[in-house]
């Protein structure tokens, strides 16, 4: 599956590269945007550990075939060199064959645009980010509960400049999310690692 998705990214890149040129705005400026990540690449896994009253790990169980959907609203600032820094509000939904996780987070993301590689308004980029928030767990072996969550993210893709105000992107997004709870006797979610295909659009003022 991952080979097909990577091949699709390459094909889309070639299509974007053949689209008509538009004026490109290299100046500084504020922008707003919306990203969505909903296609998983490879097998996602969710690890759940159970603990005794002293906090010692008794066992860890893995749940596979997790599916997810996340929406990311962002407000950012583009530098003259096309690097971007943005604040994000994200809504996440993760499903497994046993239980579901929903989370709302706040975060910060930094996107590096490789302007030296730009061609026909196609700009390669990579990004790093972190977000924190609260997650709700339902229908697992332990009691339903709310826990703290923190995620680290890495992205890689291409951005297409539609015009001087609007651009669209497609790319790969990896995220590693950790969950924590002091109620150890009820179980503790340790983490989930995800690889997704991400789409996004931004409007620059």
The range of the structural domain enclosing residue 190 comes to 2-204
126 pLDDT above the threshold of 90: yes
Query: Which position has the token pair 């004026």?
Result: 23
In this predicted model, which residue has the larger pLDDT, 181 or 8? Answer: 181
For the segment 26-35, the average pLDDT, to the nearest whole number, is: 86
In this predicted model, which residue has the larger pLDDT, 101 or 7? Answer: 101
CATH code where residue 184 lies: 2.40.160.20
Query: Tens of pLDDT along 98-108?
Result: 788 899 999 99
| pTM confidence score | 0.79
Rounded to the nearest 10°, the torsion over CA 5, 12, 83, 89 is -60
Query: Tens of pLDDT along 69-101?
Result: 899 999 999 988 789 999 999 999 988 877 888
- Pull the structure tokens for residue 88: 């994000």
In this predicted model, which residue has the larger pLDDT, 10 or 28? Answer: 28
pLDDT confidence of residue 39:
76
Closest CA to 4 of 197, 199, 200: 197
For the segment 174-192, the average pLDDT, to the nearest whole number, is: 71
The total of structural domains in the chain comes to 1
């Amino acid at each position: 599956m991952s080979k097909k998705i990577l091949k699709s990214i390459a094909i889309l890149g070639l299509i974007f590269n053949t689209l008509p040129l538009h004026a490109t705005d290299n100046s500084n400026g504020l922008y707003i945007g919306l990203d969505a990540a909903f296609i998983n690449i490879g097998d996602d896994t969710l690890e759940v550990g159970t603990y005794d009253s002293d906090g010692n790990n008794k066992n860890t169980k893995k749940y596979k075939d997790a599916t997810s959907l996340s929406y990311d609203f962002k407000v950012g600032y583009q530098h003259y060199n096309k690097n971007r820094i943005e604040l994000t509000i994200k809504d996440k939904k993760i499903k497994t064959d046993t239980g579901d996780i929903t989370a709302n987070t706040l975060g910060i993301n930094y996107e590096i645009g490789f302007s030296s590689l730009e061609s026909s308004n196609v700009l390669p980029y990579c990004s790093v980010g972190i977000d924190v928030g609260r997650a709700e767990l339902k229908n697992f072996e332990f009691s339903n509960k709310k826990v703290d969550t923190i995620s680290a993210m890495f992205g890689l893709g291409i951005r297409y400049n539609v015009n001087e105000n609007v651009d669209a992107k497609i790319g790969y997004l990896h995220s590693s999310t950790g969950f924590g709870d002091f109620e150890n006797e009820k179980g503790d979610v340790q983490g989930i690692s995800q690889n997704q295909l991400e789409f996004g659009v931004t409007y620059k003022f």
